[in-house]
Amino acid sequence: MLDRSDVHAAMCPTCGAVLAARPKRKRACAACGKPIHVRSRQSIFPSGLVTESDASAFDLLAYLTPFGIDEAHCREPMAAGRTLPDTVWALASEVLRLNRADSLLIRQMSFFLEREGRSAAHLQAPMARALATDLEVFASRGVKRVEFRCDDNCPTCEKFEGKSIALDVARREQPLPRSGCTDPNGCRCWYVDLP
């Protein structure tokens, strides 16, 4: 028989059904069919079992660490009744509003919105600014060429995957984000500096 702490550690985070055993990795709940994600290295949810939406929020939160944002920043809004995904989104949006976001964070914000079933098309303008900044950083480091990388499902973007161009051409023409991208969430391509 499970004692009270075992029950807390072995409950579906979506429906509250008691699980026969605490999962060690992602699996579906037998009662509701929803995914149960395991995030043991966080301290917000004592059981370490989280919903798909919460798992996605933790993934985005990891990209906020370079901006000085961590789990501690989530506690007060969550204590006031805000969900973890809403809290993390608000924190990421504030970084974006302050023009501190880099292209990696904006791409992760786009993936977060996609997993939440929301459009990320409005992130294209901030993405363009962040990619232009990436190119300037590369130039300051003496980089001469950049390579295109692509994470979306767009045939237009995929044909450029792995191709390289001179940095001065990329700075002049600003080919990313691609205007012809057909991904409904917008272009999520980025540059990688080449030695």
- pLDDT of 134-147, one tens digit each? 999 999 999 999 99
| Cα 70 to Cα 43, 88, 145, distances in angstroms | 11, 9, 34
Task: Report the candidate in 87, 93, 62, 59 with the shortest Cα–Cα distance to residue 74.
Answer: 87
Judged against a pLDDT cut of 60, whether residue 1 lies above it is answered with no
pLDDT of residue 9: 62
Judged against a pLDDT cut of 50, whether residue 49 lies above it is answered with yes
Question: Is 183 strand, coil or helix?
Answer: coil
pLDDT of residue 5: 46
**37 DSSP β-pair partners:** 50
C-alpha of 20 from chain center: 32
Which value, in Å, is the radius of gyration of the alpha carbons in the chain?
20
Judged against a pLDDT cut of 80, whether residue 6 lies above it is answered with no
- pLDDT of 72-126, one tens digit each? 999 999 999 999 999 999 999 999 988 777 899 999 999 999 999 999 989 999 9
Task: Report the candidate in 109, 18, 3 with the shortest Cα–Cα distance to residue 36.
Answer: 18
Judged against a pLDDT cut of 70, whether residue 164 lies above it is answered with yes
pLDDT band at 4 (very low <50, low <70, confident <90, very high): very low
State the chain's mean pLDDT as an integer: 91
C-alpha of 118 from chain center: 13
pTM (predicted TM-score):
0.82
Per-residue tokens: 16: 């509250």
